[in-house]
Chain A
Amino acid sequence: MPDLDKLHEAVIEGDSKAAAAVTQAAIAAGVAPLDIVTGYLVPAMDEVGRRFECEEYFVPEMLLSARAMKASMEIVRPLLAAAGSEPVGRVVIGTVQGDLHDIGKNLVASMLEGGGFEVIDLGANVAPEQFIEAAATRNANLVALSALLTVTMTSMKTTIDAFQAAGLREKVKIMVGGAPVTQQYADAIGADGFGESAAAAVALARRLVAA
């Protein structure tokens, strides 16, 4: 039996090769895929988020940990799907139309995935209709909108309005984030929540799906 604490350590240290190797060994030894996620990846990413919040970690360390977590998830994800495991929630995420910046969005996506969510990442410059189609077809209960630019954050309102017009607004919770975004702006455009950081976004997502 592999030492799964090393998976926890590999994610925190951002060692993707070690994370993949320990995960492979654990699967081979018969460890349940869901246990790998809930027992090791989720706590490890929670710890990464904590370190980011208290400024022990910065963007480079977050990116490395996210990559290590993803290396493990690449192995585990198909097995979870085959076993019919239900995620904590299903979130469609993207940077809104007109905005190509995705580092912050990618970090939030990784933290959500590391938090046990199924993440449908639509990338950057995502049109409202793409968010709507993905949320509808993938049966998402959460939509996460990112924007870095003042000039593009207005696309968040356009997207929320489009969900309203499509009759889907009550079926999903919508959370927003990004450098120029504030709680005040989130309230003004009718979002359900605002996450100030990647770690805060995970806590918010957990609250929203539990509500």
Chain B
Amino acid sequence: MLSACGRLRCKALPACARCCSRDISRLVSQTNGSSRERLSTALDHREPDRIPLDFGSTSVTGIHVSAVAALRRYYGLAPGPVKVHEPSQMLGLVEDDLRAAMGLDVIGVFPGKTMFGFPAADWKEWNFRGLDVLVPGDFRTRTESNGDILIFPEGDETAAPSGRMPVGSAFFDAIVRQPEIDERKLDPADNLEDFAPIAEVDLDRIERSVRSAAASGYGVAAAFGGTAFGDVARVPAPFLKNPKGIRDVAEWYMSTRTRRAYIHTVFERQCEIGIQNLARIHARIGDAVDCVYLCGTDFGTQTSAFCSVATFRELWFPYYKRVNHWVHANTAWKCFKHSCGSVERFFESFLEAGFDIVNPVQCSAAGMEPAELKRKYGSRLVFWGGGVDTQKTLPFGTPQEVREEVLRRCEIFAPGGGFVFNSIHNLQAGTPVENIVAMLDAVHQFNGVVHA
């Protein structure tokens, strides 16, 4: 929908002159008391007063630490090093002051341990290629002669490193430590070392985190871990010192064809443990969270998928259905599924399996045209993402191009609710801060927010 001046019309602002003239660079959110209601309304497929915004509530809707630092500088917030709460992707913690400055509506509750098996606690300083940051106390690294940075599982420098950040990269990739596979000795229990009944101390931590998050007035997105079936980010087990079983990503993919009984056994047991853990967590926290990020297994590539719908339904669907069914039968939580890529073909199955929310809604992938997604699934699936492209527009476009794309996406996804604004996956290192601000300003403009 275009206004008289040729710009997209903001739904909440009928007069174009208002939307074009507003200075929202000094935005301060004063309404977080209604943020939770806003999120809840959107998740229920009703149109909230504004589109809720999320950045930083999960490990798939986050912000690279360098971008967090840049945003803090832009908004004139208290200086000081930013906490890297998820070291594998080097995600920076969005503190309350930045959440308010960005006008966000969601706060996160994170798993007890990071991808490298140590807690995000006991902060210490670390210089990340010229940027002073805070990292967890057990974040221990070694720099190789070529400049690559290696990181150790559980902070144990006597173990083989489990992650590598090459020169030119801005986060760690898992180092594959695949023991030689002897088919006769291959035991599904080896791939189950990742999953265990939750400890009381972890339940205590979750309860504290959830209570604190719920008291903030923001919507709450929680990730408890343990229900990501076959997520190749976790298959190499960078959090374990001595991973066993199938740990090479390519080998895992092939195993979904050649060792399907093995995979079923892993998923079956993982599912049992996962549901038992969710039940114990729910007994502690009740319905104090709005949604649970349950699984980040990617099924899409840029142009295609990692498997057929038939394979998905045979291998993954039964376990997703059991987890989601338990959640819906026993809680008020919404079930959040992340999958990058071209995944429209799976959406009916996601729905049937009980997922309520999809992320990141990669509109740049094949078959992910925003208006068509909204038309076919908008009344049934919540789109948590899709707000702006992070492969081209946000990192390489102009602020005006960012603004136009954001407004177009809001026009498409906002009507009737079922939309939480987030970029397509995390805000990456190197993204110009003026583009991030242009994105936020466009959403707020669309929303017609009140300024300080």
Give chain A's interface residues, CB within 8 Å of chain B.
14, 52, 55, 58-61, 63-64, 67, 97-101, 103, 106, 125, 149-152, 155, 179-180, 182, 196-197
Determine whether the beta carbon of B254 is less than 8 Å from that of A64: yes
A-B contact pairs, 30 of them (CB 8 A): A14-B257, A14-B258, A58-B304, A58-B305, A58-B307, A60-B253, A60-B254, A60-B306, A60-B307, A61-B257, A63-B254, A64-B254, A97-B166, A97-B167, A98-B167, A98-B169, A99-B168, A100-B166, A100-B173, A103-B250, A125-B148, A125-B166, A151-B169, A151-B170, A151-B429, A155-B168, A179-B301, A179-B302, A180-B391, A182-B392
Flag whether B412 is at the interface (Cβ < 8 A).
no
Residues of A within 8 A of B169 (CB): 98-100, 149, 151-152
A182 to B392, CA, bound (A): 10
A70 to B293, CA, bound (A): 40
Residues of B within 8 A of A151 (CB): 169-170, 395, 428-430
Q: Within the complex, what minimum Cβ distance (angstroms) separates A84 from chain B?
A: 33
Q: Which residue of B lies closest to A125 (CB)?
A: B166
Question: Assuming the A-B contacts A58-B305, A63-B253, A63-B254, are A152 and B173 also in contact, with contact meaning beta carbons closer than 8 angstroms in the complex?
Answer: no
Question: Assuming the A-B contacts A60-B256, A150-B390, are A97 and B168 also in contact, with contact meaning beta carbons closer than 8 angstroms in the complex?
Answer: yes
A49 to B321, CA, bound (A): 33
Question: Assuming the A-B contacts A55-B308, A150-B395, are A60 and B257 also in contact, with contact meaning beta carbons closer than 8 angstroms in the complex?
Answer: yes
A14 to B304, CA, bound (A): 20
Residues of B within 8 A of A60 (CB): 253-254, 256-257, 306-307
Contact with A along B78-104 (1 / 0, CB 8 A): 000000000000000000000000000
Q: Within the complex, what minimum Cβ distance (angstroms) separates A111 from chain B?
A: 15
Give chain B's interface residues, CB within 8 Å of chain A.
148, 164, 166-170, 173, 249-250, 253-254, 256-258, 301-308, 311, 390-392, 395, 428-430
| Most B-side CB within 10 Å, residue of A55, A61, A100 | A100
Q: Which residue of A lies closest to B257 (CB)?
A: A60
Question: Assuming the A-B contacts A55-B304, A196-B303, are A64 and B166 also in contact, with contact meaning beta carbons closer than 8 angstroms in the complex?
Answer: no
A98 to B429, CA, bound (A): 13
Q: Which residue of B lies closest to A100 (CB)?
A: B173
Residues of A within 8 A of B164 (CB): 100
A98 to B165, CA, bound (A): 8
Determine whether the beta carbon of B428 is less than 8 Å from that of A64: no
Residues of A within 8 A of B148 (CB): 125
Residues of A within 8 A of B258 (CB): 14, 64
Q: Within the complex, what minimum Cβ distance (angstroms) separates B300 from chain A?
A: 10
A138 to B430, CA, bound (A): 36
Residues of B within 8 A of A196 (CB): 303
A52 to B305, CA, bound (A): 10
Q: A151-B430, A180-B302 are in contact. List 20 more A-B contacts (CB 8 A).
A: A14-B254, A52-B304, A55-B304, A58-B305, A60-B253, A60-B307, A64-B258, A97-B166, A97-B168, A99-B169, A100-B169, A103-B250, A125-B148, A150-B390, A150-B395, A151-B395, A151-B429, A179-B302, A180-B391, A180-B392
A98 to B149, CA, bound (A): 11
Question: Assuming the A-B contacts A55-B305, A179-B302, are A63 and B395 also in contact, with contact meaning beta carbons closer than 8 angstroms in the complex?
Answer: no
Residues of A within 8 A of B428 (CB): 150-151
A151 to B89, CA, bound (A): 13
Determine whether the beta carbon of B168 is less than 8 Å from that of A98: yes
A19 to B430, CA, bound (A): 46
Residues of B within 8 A of A149 (CB): 169
A104 to B308, CA, bound (A): 18
A180 to B390, CA, bound (A): 10
Q: Within the complex, what minimum Cβ distance (angstroms) separates A148 from chain B?
A: 9
A179 to B3, CA, bound (A): 35
A64 to B250, CA, bound (A): 9
Q: Within the complex, what minimum Cβ distance (angstroms) separates B241 from chain A?
A: 21
A197 to B395, CA, bound (A): 24
Residues of A within 8 A of B311 (CB): 58
Residues of A within 8 A of B307 (CB): 58-60
Q: Which residue of A lies closest to B364 (CB)?
A: A180
| Most A-side CB within 10 Å, residue of B148, B257, B306, B311 | B257
Residue from the list B170, B173, B306 in contact with A59, Cβ < 8 A: B306
Listed from nearest, the 5 A-B pairs whose CB atoms lie closest are A98-B168, A100-B173, A179-B302, A98-B169, A180-B391
Question: Assuming the A-B contacts A155-B168, A179-B301, are A64 and B391 also in contact, with contact meaning beta carbons closer than 8 angstroms in the complex?
Answer: no
Q: Which residue of A lies closest to B396 (CB)?
A: A150
Residues of B within 8 A of A106 (CB): 250
Determine whether the beta carbon of B250 is less than 8 Å from that of A63: yes
Determine whether the beta carbon of B168 is less than 8 Å from that of A64: no
A155 to B167, CA, bound (A): 11
Q: Within the complex, what minimum Cβ distance (angstroms) separates A100 from chain B?
A: 4
| Most B-side CB within 10 Å, residue of A55, A152, A179 | A179
Residues of A within 8 A of B304 (CB): 52, 55, 58, 197
| Most A-side CB within 10 Å, residue of B301, B302, B306, B390 | B302
Q: Within the complex, what minimum Cβ distance (angstroms) separates A107 from chain B?
A: 9
Determine whether the beta carbon of A58 is less than 8 Å from that of B308: yes
Residues of A within 8 A of B392 (CB): 150, 180, 182
Q: Which residue of A lies closest to B306 (CB)?
A: A59
A44 to B390, CA, bound (A): 37
Residues of A within 8 A of B301 (CB): 59, 179
Residue from the list A52, A150, A197 in contact with B391, Cβ < 8 A: A150
A182 to B364, CA, bound (A): 11
Residues of B within 8 A of A125 (CB): 148, 166
Q: Within the complex, what minimum Cβ distance (angstroms) separates B60 from chain A?
A: 15
Determine whether the beta carbon of A98 is less than 8 Å from that of B166: yes
Residues of B within 8 A of A64 (CB): 254, 257-258
Q: Which residue of A lies closest to B172 (CB)?
A: A100
Residues of A within 8 A of B391 (CB): 150, 179-180
Determine whether the beta carbon of B257 is less than 8 Å from that of A152: no
Q: Which residue of B lies closest to A104 (CB)?
A: B301
